[in-house]
Amino acid sequence: MNKFLKKKGIGFYLLVLSGILAIIATARYADWAPANYVMNPLILAVLIIGIVLDLLLVLYDNDYLVVAATACYSVALFQLLADNVGSFVDAFQGIVMFGDPIQVGTILSISYIIAGSILASIIASFTKRVRT
């Protein structure tokens, strides 16, 4: 195991961080969304696909898989924000009409975790994942 890790570069560890953040975001979303009647299966599916791609990247280094994982996390983030735009509108207007303004903090916290996963994945795509 130690020999395996000695061959890995900083990009590998960023991909591991990206996967861990995605697991946290998936757990938070899967816990929060059904309780507030905003569950979107697409968000859950692309987060899980991104996690699976990150797990594949631990075993097999491929640039296309990094791009695909980043795209999955990006789709999840933008779909989450698009689904809950009514809550943001209500929070800014000080009314309760289109969504639930109380949920804006939770939506943003899940979005920040997914954005961290996207950022780690993007940085990992430009760094060495295997030492030569």
The pLDDT tens digits for 102-123 are: 999 999 999 999 999 999 999 9
pLDDT of 4 higher than 70: no
pLDDT of 2 higher than 80: no
CA angle 120, 86, 25 (to 5 degrees): 25
Identity of residue 56 = L
Mean pLDDT over 43-63 rounds to 94
Q: Does the predicted TM-score (pTM) go above 0.85?
A: yes
pLDDT value for 59: 87
Rounded CA separation 20/73 (Å): 12
Length of the chain as a residue count: 132
Tell me: the pLDDT tens digits for 33-44? 999 889 999 999
pLDDT value for 81: 96
Mean pLDDT over 9-25 rounds to 93
